[in-house]
Amino acid sequence: MALLASVFVVAACGLVYELAAGALASYLLGDSVLQFSTVIGSYLFAMGIGSWLSRFIERQLVAQFLRIELLVGLIGGLMPAGLFVVHNLLPAEATAPFRVLLYTLVGLIGVLAGLEIPLVMRILKRHFSERYALKDLVSQVLTFDYLGALVVALAFPLLFVPHLGLVRTGAFFGLLNAGVAVWALWLFRGELRNFWAHAAACAAVLAALLATMAGAGRLTTWAEDAFYGSDIILRQSSDYQRVVVTAGPAGVRLFLNGNLQFHSRDEYRYHEALVHPAMAAHAAPRRVLVLGGGDGMAVREVLKHPGVEQVTLVELDPQMTRLFSQHPRLVALNGNALASPRLRVVNADAYAWLEGNREFFDVIVVDFPDPTNYSIGKLYSTSFYQRADQALAAGGFMVVQTTSPLFARKSFWTVAATLEAVGLQTKPYHAHVPSFGEWGFIIASRRPWTLPQALPPGLRFLTLEGLPALLHFPPDMARVPMPPNRLSQQGLVATFEEEWGRVER
C-alpha cells in the first residue's frame, strides 16, 4: 500500500512541474493558451518517450527508480528558480535561449516522469505478484496515478501558488519526490547495492531543495529588483496576480504580473481621457459603473462630477481595492477615492457580475488590462459588450480603454468592430500618455456622441479646445477592416500578441 501511495505522490509531482512550466511560460512569454498547449504537449510526448525507454531497464529496478526520483525531484524542483534566474540574466529581447532551456527542462522531466510508472508496476509485480494479479496491480497503480493528478490540479492554483509562489511550490514538490526516493531507500535497503552512496545522493538532493525553499524569498526579491530597476515599496501576490509598486525620483509605478499599469507622472492624462469625454457628454450622469480600475484612479475622475450620486466599482481582485484604500502612498494617488460614501465596491468577475446585474447606469467605464490572454480577451468580446449594453441606461455612454492605435492598430480597430457588432455606435479617440505612447479609447452608445460643452474644473490635461484633436486619426492610425472578437474565436488575443511582440522585438 505504501508503494501505491508513492504513485499518488509521483503523479502529483509530475503534474505540478508541468503546470509550473506552463505558468512560467505564460507569465514570462505571454499568450497563456499557446504556452500551456505547447508545454503540455511537449511534456506528454516526452513521457511517451520515457515509457518506451523503460523497456531497456532490466536490472536493479529499485536502484534505477530511486535515481529517477532524485533526478525528477532535483530538476523539477529547481526548474522555476532556474528559469527565473536565466530570464533575468538574459536581455529582454533574447527569448530564444529561454525557450530552448524551458523546453529542454520540460522534455527531460517528461522523459523521467514517463519512466516512473512502468518501473513502479514492474517493482510491484516482482514483489507482490503472489498477492495481486497483474490486472489488479495495473488498476490500482493507474487509479492512484489519476487521483494524484486530480488533487494537485485543484490545489496548484487555489492553494500552492497563491501561498507558496512558483519557486517554493516547485521546491516543495521536489522534496516530495526526494521523499519517495528516501522511502524506497529504506524499504528496499536489503537489496540495494551501494546503500551509502544512494543515501548520500538523497541527502544532497534534499539539501539543495531545502536551500531553495529557504532562499525563495530572496531569489524572488533579486529577480524583481533586477526586472523593475527601481525601489520596490510593495510586492504582494494575490489569488489572481503579482502586484508590484515601485517608487523612484520620477514617481510611482504599478505593475501587475510584470506589466506596467500606470506611472504617477502621467496617469492623469490616461484617466482624464478615459473618463471625462463620456461623462461630460452625458451632461447629467447620476449612476456610474466602473469595470476594472481597482486602483481607484478612474473613480477619482468620476467623482469630479458633482451630480454623480453613486459609483459602482467591480474589481476582480480584493487585494487591489484593499491596497489602494489603505496604503498611504497609493491612497494619495487616487485622492482617497475608494473611501468615498458615493462608492460601492464589488469584488467579483465583471463578466459573471454583469450576467446577474439588474441595474442601469448612465455611464460605464471599462478599464481592463490589455487582452494579453484569453481570460482577459473574453472581456473584449461581443458577448461581454452585449451584457454591458444591457446595463446601459437609455441615452447612456460606455467608454473602453482600447490599447494603442499606433502600435496595435489592428487590435484597436478590432475592438471598434466588436462594439459595432452588438449594435452600438462608436466614437474612437486617442491621447498621448508618455509612459505608454499613443493610447486609444472608444465611446460606445445607442445615441450619437457629441462634443461636451463643459468639463469639470481643475483638469490637468483635457480642455474643450483640445478635445477635437483627440478625434483625429492620421494615416498610420487610420481604421483598417477587422472582424469582431467573439468569445468562441478570440482573434483579438492573437492579433494583440503579434502586434506588441513586433514592437518589443
pLDDT at residue 505, rounded to an integer: 45
pLDDT at residue 242, rounded to an integer: 76
How far apart (Å, rounded) are the C-alpha atoms in residues 245 and 243?
7
Q: Where in the chain is the domain with CATH 3.40.50.150?
A: 266-504
Residue scoring higher pLDDT (122 or 290) = 290
User: Per DSSP, what are the bridge partners of residue 91?
Assistant: none
pLDDT tens column, 16-68: 888 888 887 776 776 666 778 888 899 989 989 999 998 888 888 888 889 99
Q: Which of 247, 240, 431 is nearest to 333 (CA)?
A: 247
pLDDT tens column, 346-395: 999 999 999 999 999 999 999 998 988 888 899 999 999 999 999 999 99
Mean pLDDT of 168-191: 87
Q: Where in the chain is the domain with CATH 2.30.140.10?
A: 231-261
Q: Which of 393, 368, 424, 425 is nearest to 286 (CA)?
A: 393
The correct answer on CATH 1.10.357 for the domain covering 2-228 is: no
How far apart (Å, rounded) are the C-alpha atoms in residues 410 and 413?
5
How far apart (Å, rounded) are the C-alpha atoms in residues 396 and 225?
45
Mean pLDDT of 249-268: 86
pLDDT tens column, 472-485: 999 999 999 999 99
pLDDT tens column, 107-128: 999 999 888 888 877 877 776 6
CB atoms within 10 A of CB 115: 25
CA dihedral 304, 312, 314, 365 (to 10 degrees): -50
Mean residue pLDDT across the chain: 87
pLDDT at residue 132, rounded to an integer: 59
Confidence of residue 261 (pLDDT cuts 50, 70, 90): confident
| Non-local CB neighbours of 3 within 8 Å, separated by 6+ positions | 120, 123, 124, 187
Pair type for strands 259-263 and 251-256: antiparallel
Pair type for strands 437-445 and 392-401: antiparallel
Confidence of residue 70 (pLDDT cuts 50, 70, 90): very high
pLDDT at residue 2, rounded to an integer: 60
pLDDT at residue 415, rounded to an integer: 97
Q: Where in the chain is the domain with CATH 1.20.1250?
A: 2-228
pLDDT tens column, 398-414: 999 999 999 999 999 99
pLDDT at residue 315, rounded to an integer: 94
DSSP annotation of 56? G
Superfamily of domain 231-261: Spermidine synthase, tetramerisation domain (2.30.140.10)
Decide if pLDDT at 134 tops 70.
Answer: no
Residue scoring higher pLDDT (258 or 395) = 395
Mean pLDDT of 127-148: 69
CA atoms within 13 A on the CB side of 352: 7
φ/ψ (deg, to 5) at 265: -70, -25
Q: Select which of 31, 145, 295, 367 is catalytic.
A: 367
CB atoms within 10 A of CB 185: 20
317 flagged as catalytic: no
Q: Which of 68, 38, 44, 37 is nearest to 54 (CA)?
A: 68
Confidence of residue 503 (pLDDT cuts 50, 70, 90): low
Residue scoring higher pLDDT (79 or 8) = 79
Confidence of residue 164 (pLDDT cuts 50, 70, 90): confident
Mean pLDDT of 203-223: 86
pLDDT at residue 362, rounded to an integer: 97
Distances (CA, A) of 476 to 180, 370, 415, 433: 61, 21, 17, 18
Has this prediction a pTM greater than 0.85?
no
Mean pLDDT of 289-294: 95
User: Per DSSP, what are the bridge partners of residue 253?
Assistant: 246, 263
Mean pLDDT of 437-453: 95
The correct answer on CATH 2.30.36.70 for the domain covering 266-504 is: no
CB atoms within 10 A of CB 231: 11
Determine the residue type at 411.
Answer: S
E-assigned strands of 51-143?
none
